[in-house]
Amino acid sequence: MGPDHAPELGVAMVGHSFMGAAHSQAWSVAPRFFDLPRRPRMRVVAGRRAEAVEQAARTLGWEETETDWRKLLVRDDVQLIDICTPGDTHADIAVAALEAGKHVLCEKPLANTVEEAERMAAAADKAAANGVRAMVGFTYRRVPAVALARQLVAEGRIGTVRHVRAQYLQDWIADEQAPMSWRLEKDKAGSGALGDIGAHVVDMAQFVTGSKVSGVSGLLETFVEERPLPGSSGSLRGEAGEGMGRVTVDDAALFTARLEGGAVAVFEATRFAWGRKNAIRLEVNGSKGSLAFDFEDMNVLHYYDATEDPLVAGFRRIYVTEPQHPYVGAWWPAGHGLGYEHGFVHQVVDLVGALAEDRQPEPSFADGLQVQRVLDAVERSSAASSAWQAV
């Protein structure tokens, strides 16, 4: 079925900042490169301030605007709610949308607490019985090199997984004068580096290995406890306003872990690594080889085959741009790399395909809940002098 003849999927998005822009582009671009079984239509975007949301609609390509997200739930022309708001609002919006019979795509982490995530997962289970689906947005799964890594592990190319090393390194608040943001307030963000970026590498490690984290020993640290309030621009790197705000989340999170399959792992998430802009790193060592990935070279996967002759063995640099690589065939000729935004497009492709086939899209809210339980275990461990905590 061609895209022009596919039935419509009316989409409403709540929130329109950084993630809202990324999601908007994905909804717009996906049907132009992929033959989708349902045609997304960007019906309405919702935000708290009328002027800001109207500007976002014009810029991002939404047909209508709304300042009360609850009004989206009674619209017959909306079948899916896309949640791109801070974590403290995820549970209320997602549960209400699912109860109203709307499919839901929710940004990560799923919620700010395990209790909220449990409520969301329960609502998703109940809705699934009526064919209503929910998915959480861990888009780095959809980077072709990461998807290829998962495929190679599943095929047994590196044998039994023994070690996992996962890092997410940024420097966007390494400057002590960087102004306050909602991401630095626990009541809005839930946690700091742990949930904002650590959640990504937890999901990536579990996705690639096919094995869940079963226990952790963690350490959280806040280096800068007060920051200037933002200026009129509200920009993280904008001019500071008057007064200081208190940082109530972690700046860095480190933890060791064990996976259900028996492997051991070490995780690190920090926003204080000068020079690292978005270094998402994953290395997996198995009984027959290794895989290594760094998002700052996102089109490349490094693979070591330990069964090769040691005379010529070494890490193989796979440039993941061939048509047979995951997702790549819909884009450009081989050798023409993809970027950050393509993961969001692939997310739309996978979600729309699952909805059309009436199957559960992945990662599910249950998957998001499991990541939330890992984050909670790290927090509990850090509060208990790094004592081991089961997930």
Mean pLDDT throughout 78-101? 97
How many other C-beta atoms are found inside a 10 Å radius of the C-beta of residue 214? 15
pLDDT band, residue 231 (cuts 50/70/90): confident
- What is the tens place of the pLDDT at every residue in 29-62? 999 999 999 999 999 999 999 999 999 999 999 9
Instruction: Give the model's pLDDT for residue 237.
Output: 42
Relative orientation angle of helices 342-356 and 18-33, to the nearest 10 degrees: 60
8-140 and 143-361+370-390 share one fold: no
Residue in the structure block whose two tokens are 């890490």:
315
Mean pLDDT throughout 320-330? 98
CATH superfamily of 8-140: NAD(P)-binding Rossmann-like Domain (3.40.50.720)
Mean pLDDT throughout 116-123? 98
CA distances from 152 to 159, 290, 388 (A): 10, 10, 31
Mean pLDDT throughout 270-291? 98
Q: Which CATH class is domain 143-361+370-390?
A: alpha beta
Mean pLDDT throughout 198-209? 98
pLDDT band, residue 5 (cuts 50/70/90): confident
Distance CA 121, CA 216 (A): 23
How many Cα neighbours within 13 Å face the side chain of 208? 37
Residue 275 burial (C-beta neighbours within 10 Å; 0-12, 13-18, 19+): exposed
Average pLDDT, the chain: 95
- What per-residue string of b and e applies to 174-191 under the rule 16 or more CB within 10 Å gives b? beeebbbbebbbbebbbb
Give the domain ranges of the chain: 8-140, 143-361+370-390
Instruction: Give the model's pLDDT for residue 353.
Output: 98
For the record, the structure tokens of 143 come out as: 């980077």
- Would the pTM count as exceeding 0.85? yes
For the record, the structure tokens of 249 come out as: 């989340």
Mean pLDDT throughout 193-204? 96
